[in-house]
Structure 1
Amino acid sequence: MSVSLNPTDLKFGTADGKLWTRRLYGQEAQAAYFVDHGEGFTMYAGTLTARFTPPRSRTELELPIQKAWIKARHLSPSVACRQTKHDGHYWFEYQVPTAAEARTWAEETIFWHEEPKTLLQTDLMLEDKWWKCSDGLYIVQLHFVPSAETPGDWHIAYLAPHNSIDGRSLMKLLEHILTWTLEELKTPSAGTPELEWGCEPIRLAPTLILAARLPLDQTPEPKAAPAPPPGFIPFLPAVVDADNTSAGEANNVNALLSLTPEETARYRQVCRARGVTVTDLMLALLALAEIESTLQVALKSDNGELTAKNIGAYEQASHFLFGFYFINHRHKLPGDYVTLEDGALLFGCEGTSLLFDMATMRKAIQFDKETGKIQRTTTDEVLWDGIIKMSNSVAKSTPSDWTAVFQREVDRQFALDEGLHDDTAFHMRVPMMSSIGDYHTMDILDPFVPETGALAKELAVLGQYHTIRVTHPLIVPICWQYAGRINFSWSSGRKWLSQENMDLYAGIFKEWLDVCIGELQV
């Protein structure tokens, strides 16, 4: 028997025309819970590196950026929401501002940093910052950090709970901000931007299931999580404190791999030739890197518990577990929510877990316990006809239709409402994976692509980095393509993973990638 959801709870409403509120539901509410109960777990930082020609100082940029940020609020007012919690639920609150109040909001949410940092240092610094979703603070901050790689460049970043933004929406909004900034630099305007405040709440986005026009009067009953396969034993390496943290060190540990344009073209050509997606191959490579690096860490460790558990995980596991696999749904939404001007959702994804057969994985990575030797098998039969074909099949069979999304959202909300969420559910060493996509295909940041963008001679976006704050032993890989280059980032909690072992993981990933893409030439 189905139950009904009240649509007025899931879209913004107002009693006085000034204060607009909406309840968080499903994935977005669960993510708020993660932040509040996990010391900021899933706070999201998305950073790009900008090069102005000629170089621009903070003094030159401050006022144009502030004006552009105010325009961004008018275009996408969700960035100026606060999150609160009352009556047992999380809520978004948006207050229609006066021009002076909009300027005050911009001053409170733009942060300028003095010390130059690299892109990865900027990410680590941002992921040390977090606040509770129940604290009633503005949900999005904009940060500007001088580049340590090239004096004059700027790292420009969003920081927010992940339930408020994702890697697509935030970069599209930054495209607008950078465009407006250039316009203001060319032709300075007087005073605060003259905007019609009060008309923008129409662009406050509803929750995902309402935007998808799902039948709320036929809301499915909550279901228990499906039973695992018979004999299910997940591949779970040891969770042991890395003992490599000290006062002043960052919470996260990270890594970045940027393929060359030639490697990117080869990667895509191989995938097309084999009938798989970029993500299918990435999932296979991630599993291979995780398994092999786990064994290598075990072999070099003098921690007996870690060695025994890691080798045991390899020998005994029935399945390799992706703890969470983000699925983007924004492109499937009705036309009402396609663009920011239409009130596009700033967070348009949810997801589920994935399982790979471990016996298939062991065929590629063989381990002799007696000699302590690891041997790779790289034949087509094992890699392409086995592991990567399996990855493609598992991803394809993962339900992503609206019926499945509706059920998962109901189940998440039920677990929160009933206090059933297990706070330790993510306290394990498994991947939590996201594939953002190709920014060119999504028509994001195209004007600023170096050498080819229409505005690149004035402002070029050189690269990006995406990650979340990780307060569990999870490893979080994220993939995106920009300016003809596929990029992979990894983050984890420094408490459980050293930089040395993170680099080991990323290096093994690249070695397996080279094996897979080396067979065809462009």
Structure 2
Amino acid sequence: MPPALSQDLSWTRAQSGAIDIPERDLSANLNDQSRPVWFRHQTALESGSRNGSKIITSLRISPPSPSCHELNFEVLKAAVRQLRFDHPAIASEFGWSAQPPTPEHAVFAYEVPGSESDIDTWLSKVVFDRTSVLLASNGDMDKAVETITYDLGKPDLNGGPVFVLHYIPAASPDGQHSLVFFLNHSVFDAIGAFQIMDLCLSKIADLLATGAQRRPLPWGEETLRLPPALVESARIPCTAVKTPEDEAIIQNVKDSLHSLQVRG
């Protein structure tokens, strides 16, 4: 039987006014039952990665031709909207469960959108059309990507969004489009970064094939998919007691060392 989640690291619906999110005024939503805030406490590793650890990567895409719809900024926003519903952790924010803002009070907070207007507001903060950078680079896509990557690498003392996508449209009808991803390491590890990029591309492909129409989504249900902390999902024991899996790994190491001694 899998171990029960630690209460401190489980997602919990917050009481009104219990969570403080920097640069956000949640007071207007205190009585809005359609926009509840969910939270879980951060591990020491997660809170320590908040400001300094970033994953910044880019990729080029060439949409199939012909397709039902051309790739453009609206398609990107629709893809990220669907991505948030399927994987709501990309819209989680850094917050505090109490003051002063110390590591033991650090939390991830997720606010359920009350309407599509709330989703559009969020999209405006995490998905950007960087045509202007391409123009300033005289159509040089490599230079445009380099400029955006450099800017994303600058320190952000407030943490900022954990997921940001910058879109650079193709410089010519038969050219490639570029996507530059910013992923906060407190939420994404290297494997997670590749996974979320792959999922984003999958959403883009689906929208291009179906005409890029937004379909209604039952916002609020996505909280069921808020992921547990890595120490929980990876089933890392909180004590020094060895598990059967640990014993198997240790035995494999012993066998390998013995094999080396025999060969020597």
The two structures have a TM-score, normalised by structure 2, of: 0.65
Cα deviation 1:110-143 (Å, max 9, x = unaligned): 11112144447514532322453645x3221011
Question: 1:143, 1:184 → 2: CA distance?
Answer: 18
Specify the structure having the higher radius of gyration (Cα): 1
**Partner SS, residue 138 of structure 1:** coil
> Does structure 1 residue 211 correspond to structure 2 residue 233?
yes
Which of residues 131, 134, 156 is equivalent to 1:132?
156
Residues 45, 139 of structure 1: CA spacing in aligned structure 2 closer, same or farther, 3 A cutoff?
same
**Partner SS, residue 62 of structure 2:** strand
Residue 111 of structure 1: aligned partner: 128
> Does structure 1 residue 61 correspond to structure 2 residue 78?
no
Residue 166 of structure 2: aligned partner: 143
> Does structure 1 residue 91 correspond to structure 2 residue 102?
no
Cα deviation 1:14-42 (Å, max 9, x = unaligned): 1358101122213222222xx2xxxxx43
Shift of 1:55: 8.7
Which of residues 122, 147, 155 is equivalent to 2:145?
122
Q: Is the 8 A contact 1:117 1:149 kept in 2?
A: no
Residues 202, 107 of structure 1: CA spacing in aligned structure 2 closer, same or farther, 3 A cutoff?
same
Q: Which protein is richer in strand relative to its size?
A: 1
Identity of aligned residues (%): 20
Question: 2:116, 2:222 → 1: CA distance?
Answer: 13
> Does structure 1 residue 172 correspond to structure 2 residue 172?
no
- 1:33-52 pair list within 5 angstroms: 35=51, 41-52=52-63
Residue 198 of structure 1: aligned partner: 220
- 1:471-482 pair list within 5 angstroms: none
> Does structure 1 residue 183 correspond to structure 2 residue 194?
no
Cα deviation 1:344-379 (Å, max 9, x = unaligned): xxxxxxxxxxxxxxxxxxxxxxxxxxxxxxxxxxxx
Question: 1:183, 1:9 → 2: CA distance?
Answer: 37
Residues 61, 7 of structure 1: CA spacing in aligned structure 2 closer, same or farther, 3 A cutoff?
same
Q: Is the 8 A contact 2:183 2:193 kept in 1?
A: no
Amino acid at match of 2:102: G
Question: 1:168, 1:149 → 2: CA distance?
Answer: 33
Amino acid at match of 1:10: L
Higher relative contact order (CA 8 A, sep 6+): 2
The two structures have a TM-score, normalised by structure 1, of: 0.35
Q: Which consecutive unaligned segments of at least 5 residues does structure 2 have? A: 16-34, 246-252, 258-264
Q: Is the 8 A contact 2:129 2:168 kept in 1?
A: yes
Residue 181 of structure 2: aligned partner: 158
Number of aligned residue pairs: give it. Answer: 208
Amino acid at match of 1:107: S
> Does structure 1 residue 21 correspond to structure 2 residue 43?
no
> Does structure 1 residue 101 correspond to structure 2 residue 100?
no
Cα deviation 1:36-88 (Å, max 9, x = unaligned): xxxxx4321121111123399x9852222211111100111010111235541
Q: Is the 8 A contact 1:109 1:142 kept in 2?
A: yes
Cα deviation 1:172-223 (Å, max 9, x = unaligned): 2333332332332333265x4311111111211222212233444x489xxx
Question: 1:164, 1:117 → 2: CA distance?
Answer: 32
